[in-house]
Amino acid sequence: MVLKIPPVFPFLRRYIAIILLFLLLVALAGFVAAQSFVNYSSPGDFSREIRPVFPAALFSGFLESQEARNAARPYWVPTEEESTAMPDSRPFESILLNNDLLIYYGHPLSRNMGILGRHRPEVLKEMMVELAAEYRAAGGKNIILGFYIIYGTVWPGGEIGVISSSVLREWLDFTLENDMLMFIDHQIGRFDPVEQFKTMLPYLRYPNVHLALDPEWRTPRPMQEIGYLRAEELNEIQRIMEEYMIENNIPGERLLVIHQFNRVMLRNRENIRADFSKVRLVHCISGIGTPEMKRDTYAFGALAQNIPVKGFKLWFDLGIPGAADRPLMTPREVLGLNPRPYIMMYQ
């Protein structure tokens, strides 16, 4: 009997063809990944050539590290579900980069807690449009309007009253419909600031919402003593805010406003971080008084160069004794402050 050996060359040809096709696909995938990565890590190191208006305004360490991880595994292709859940890996620009923010402050249900309690949203917007024109005439950039609502109000004994969801939703809907920003602020009271801050995080799902804390009211004795936040508490709050945004696929950055008009309000101020990738910390100087007094208070705030993004708060005369700037500084005077504020807030 003669043993018949099957031909091997056709099989080898098919095997070699498959191997060559696989290597070609691998090389092509590596080339595409390299081309996408060169935008961030080119030989000239493009990212270091950028001179942002303020630190980390353009690029995010988190996004850059994510891009590097993706480039290190060029054979990986995300599923449709992964692509949908994946945060945008492109560099993003800060909302403050080419814009000034004009913000009106208050509680919609209180006439004594700011301008928001004196008018309907439609009237307030008309007032803000006129004031924004004055800022542009004084040398301002593009002006974005917004409302700043007190979310948690301190009561006697340091208890907290939270604004009703229906009222907050009404104002939130107005800002969404009118391309405005919404800041929600917590006064903390006698409670743990980190835990209280967490109650506001779900509102970040709205694309125009930013958050704020007022250390003055972190106290069980409101109106009797000035409260405070410690640097480590504020750093932890920023970390939690950034992690929440990453875990919930919230793109870009959000602002976190922190108020100060007195030295005691921010303890160990020199240790406060302002370098989180997705949280832009805004140091808002908020003293009441004459223009000379307000300039002095602002100069004290300017010493905190580790928090470079500044805001400035002004007080309308609402007929409340001791709670008005007299006279109210003009937009030209406000924009002449050094460093120039990014947010102009009116109570």
* Residue at 333 is within a domain: yes
End residue of a domain, out of 37, 59, 85: 85
Please state the rounded mean pLDDT for residues 106-133.
Answer: 97
Q: What is the per-residue pLDDT across 203-234, written as a single tens digit (0 to 9) for each?
A: 999 999 999 999 999 999 999 999 999 999 99
* Residue at 1 is within a domain: no
pLDDT of residue 93: 72
Residue 72 pLDDT class (50, 70, 90 cuts): low
Q: Quick check: 65 pLDDT over 90?
A: no
Residue scoring higher pLDDT (134 or 38): 134
* Pairing state between β 160-162 and 142-154: antiparallel
* Residue at 3 is within a domain: no
Q: For residue 236, what are its two tokens?
A: 């932890």
Q: DSSP letter string over 286-334?
A: ---S-HHHHHHHHHHHHT-TTS--EEEEE----S-TT-S-SSPPPHHHH
The β-bridge partners of 240 are none
Residue 55 pLDDT class (50, 70, 90 cuts): very low
* Residue at 2 is within a domain: no
Q: Quick check: 165 pLDDT over 60?
A: yes
pLDDT of residue 34: 36
Same domain, 250 and 304: yes
Same domain, 262 and 123: yes
Q: Quick check: 51 pLDDT over 50?
A: no
Q: Are 265 and 227 in contact (CB under 8 A)?
A: yes
Q: Indicate the number of domains in the chain.
A: 2
End residue of a domain, out of 51, 85, 119: 85
E strand segments, 214-321: 229-230, 254-260, 266-267, 279-285, 310-314
* Residue at 90 is within a domain: no
Q: Are 315 and 323 in contact (CB under 8 A)?
A: yes
Same domain, 49 and 156: no
Same domain, 105 and 150: yes
End residue of a domain, out of 32, 59, 85: 85
Question: What average pLDDT does the structure give for the chain?
Answer: 83
d(CA 106, CA 185): 10
Same domain, 160 and 54: no
Q: For residue 126, what are its two tokens?
A: 């008309």
Residues in the chain: 347
Contacts of 232 (CB under 8 A, 6+ apart): 268, 271
Residue scoring higher pLDDT (321 or 259): 259
Residue 131 pLDDT class (50, 70, 90 cuts): very high
Same domain, 80 and 109: no
CATH number, domain with residue 229:
3.20.20
Q: The domain containing residue 259 runs over which residues?
A: 99-346
Same domain, 33 and 130: no
Can you tell me whether residue 62 is helix, strand or coil?
helix
pLDDT of residue 141: 87
Q: What is the per-residue pLDDT across 185-209, written as a single tens digit (0 to 9) for each?
A: 999 999 999 999 999 999 999 999 9
Same domain, 39 and 174: no
Q: What is the per-residue pLDDT across 136-147, written as a single tens digit (0 to 9) for each?
A: 999 878 999 999
Same domain, 38 and 137: no
Same domain, 182 and 324: yes
pLDDT of residue 257: 98
Q: What is the per-residue pLDDT across 238-292, written as a single tens digit (0 to 9) for each?
A: 999 999 999 999 999 999 999 999 999 999 999 999 999 999 999 999 999 999 9
Same domain, 269 and 199: yes
Q: Quick check: 44 pLDDT over 50?
A: no
Same domain, 117 and 182: yes
Residue 301 pLDDT class (50, 70, 90 cuts): very high
Q: Quick check: 167 pLDDT over 90?
A: yes
* Residue at 91 is within a domain: no
Q: Are 285 and 312 in contact (CB under 8 A)?
A: yes
* Residue at 222 is within a domain: yes
pLDDT of residue 322: 87
Q: What is the per-residue pLDDT across 2-14, written as a single tens digit (0 to 9) for each?
A: 444 445 445 445 5
* Residue at 4 is within a domain: no
